[in-house]
């Protein structure tokens, strides 16, 4: 079963993942039929990493988070989700890594969460381990969303789960880049859809 302590920590952690979607993500990670690490692209302050950790601990596997920790477009000055407390005054740039580390440490999850500070496309080039679950929740521009799918989907094991967050079919509800890569993945014929939750879509890689 999912770790109740880590589920509680995830629900209480700062971030934008609704609890019902986070629990659905954790459940998908717990029940996936293949072995391997769980990898997320885009970590912010660690909330979704804790939902994945709630599944990783009982599975005896690892959550790998990949984020440059300089924030997405919407976190920059003048954008909707800008938080001035996250700006490193020494360099004048967003730095979410200290907050991420506090979130993971406070939850007691440092044993199951491995943080990689890098651009996702750079790290993908040197990654070789088949993934049980791939969670795409990075920058939501079309270019970066397509790049994340192209670079990381080949690392997902057959039988593994591709999870995509912030999928909104109606443009009035949110940006369309995650929805478009969700459609792109389905159009390949390599995936079948699993029950999702809210804006979270779950796809199983069939071949």
The per-residue pLDDT for range 38-56, each reduced to its tens digit, is: 999 999 999 999 999 999 9
Q: 90 burial class (0-12, 13-18, 19+ CB within 10 angstroms)?
A: exposed
Q: 161, 55, 156: which is closest to 112 by C-alpha?
A: 55
Q: What does the pLDDT look like over 108-127, one tens digit per residue?
A: 999 999 999 999 999 999 99
Residue 117's φ and ψ, nearest 5 degrees, are -95, 100
Name the pTM for this structure: 0.93
Give the pLDDT score at 30.
Answer: 98
| Residues with catalytic function | 140
Return per-residue pLDDT of the chain as tens, 207 residues: 999 999 999 999 999 899 999 999 999 999 999 999 999 999 999 999 999 999 999 999 999 999 999 876 665 555 566 677 777 788 878 899 999 999 999 999 999 999 999 999 999 999 999 999 999 998 888 999 999 999 999 999 999 999 999 999 999 998 899 999 999 999 999 999 999 999 999 999 999
Q: What is the CATH number of domain 4-205?
A: 3.40.50.150
Residues ≥6 apart with Cβ < 8 Å to 147? 120, 121
């Amino acid at each position: 079963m999912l770790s109740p302590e880590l589920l509680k920590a995830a629900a209480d952690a700062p971030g934008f993942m609704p609890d019902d979607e986070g629990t659905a993500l954790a459940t998908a990670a717990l029940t996936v039929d293949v072995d391997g690490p769980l990898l997320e692209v885009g970590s912010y302050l660690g909330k979704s990493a804790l939902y994945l950790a709630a599944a990783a601990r009982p599975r005896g596997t690892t959550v790998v988070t990949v984020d440059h920790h300089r924030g997405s477009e919407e976190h920059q000055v003048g954008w909707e989700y800008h938080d001035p407390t996250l700006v490193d005054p020494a360099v004048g740039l967003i730095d979410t890594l200290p907050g991420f580390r506090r979130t993971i440490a406070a939850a007691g999850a440092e044993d199951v969460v491995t943080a990689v500070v890098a651009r996702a496309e750079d790290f993908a080039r040197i990654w070789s381990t088949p993934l049980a679950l791939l969670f795409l929740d990075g920058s939501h521009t079309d270019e970066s969303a397509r790049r994340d799918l192209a670079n990381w989907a080949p690392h997902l094991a057959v039988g593994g789960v591709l999870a995509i967050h912030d999928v909104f079919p109606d443009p009035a509800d949110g940006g369309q880049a995650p929805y478009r890569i969700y459609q792109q993945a389905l159009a390949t014929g390599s995936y079948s859809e699993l029950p999702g939750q809210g804006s979270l879509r779950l796809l199983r890689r069939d071949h």
